[in-house]
Amino acid sequence: MTQATNVSDWARRATALAAELTDAGVLIDPCWRAAIEQTPRHLFVPRFYRDDDTIVDGADPATVDEWLDAVYSDTSLVVQCAIAPGTDLQFPTSSSTMPSLMVRMLQLLDVIDGSSVLEIGTATGYNAALLCHRLGADHVASIELHTGLAADATDHLHGLGYEPTLAVGDGAGGVPDRAPYDRIIATCAVPAIPPVWIDQLAPGGRIVTDLRGELAGSLAILDKITPDTVQGRLLDLHGHFMWLRSTADSPLPNAGRFNLVINLDDAETIGTDLDPRMLDEPGLRVLLSIVEPDLGPITHTQREVHDIWWLRADNCWAEITTGADTTVTYGGPRVVGQFEQVTGVTAQSSSGTLASAVWLRH
88's CB contacts (< 8 A; 6+ apart) are none
How many structural domains compose the chain?
2
Q: Which of 234, 249, 277 is the last residue of a domain?
A: 234
pLDDT of residue 302: 56
Report pLDDT digits (tens) over 276-316. Answer: 777 777 777 887 777 777 777 776 665 566 677 767 667 77
Report the CATH number that the domain containing residue 118 is assigned in CATH: 3.40.50.150
Q: Does residue 341 have a pLDDT over 90?
A: no
Give the residue from 287, 339, 317, 294 showing the smallest Cα distance to 309.
317
Whether residue 318 is found in the same domain as residue 180: no
Same-domain pairing of 123 and 14:
yes
Instruction: Tell which wins on pLDDT, 179 or 339.
Output: 179
Q: Based on the fold, state whether residues 150 and 293 are members of the same structural domain.
A: no
At residue 105, the 3 state secondary structure works out as: helix
DSSP 8-state assignment for residue 338: S
- Least confident span in 12-16, 90-94, 101-105: 90-94
End-to-end CA distance of the chain: 73
Q: Are 42 and 7 in contact (CB under 8 A)?
A: yes
Q: Is residue 116 part of a domain?
A: yes
What is the reported pTM? Answer: 0.83
Last residue of a domain, one of 216, 234, 252: 234
Residue 82 forms beta bridges with which residues? 91
Ranges 87-91, 256-260, 281-285: which has the least confidence: 256-260
Domain that includes residue 55, residue range: 3-234
Percent of the chain residues topping a pLDDT of 90: 55
Across the beta sheet with 90-96, what order do the strands follow? 55-57, 47-49, 77-83, 90-96
Q: Does the pLDDT of residue 325 top 90, yes or no?
A: no
- At 174-221, the pLDDT tens digits run 999 999 999 999 999 998 899 999 999 999 999 999 988 777 788 999
pLDDT in tens, 23-76: 999 999 999 999 999 999 999 999 999 999 899 999 999 999 999 999 999 999
Residue 347 pLDDT level (bands cut at 50, 70, 90)? very low
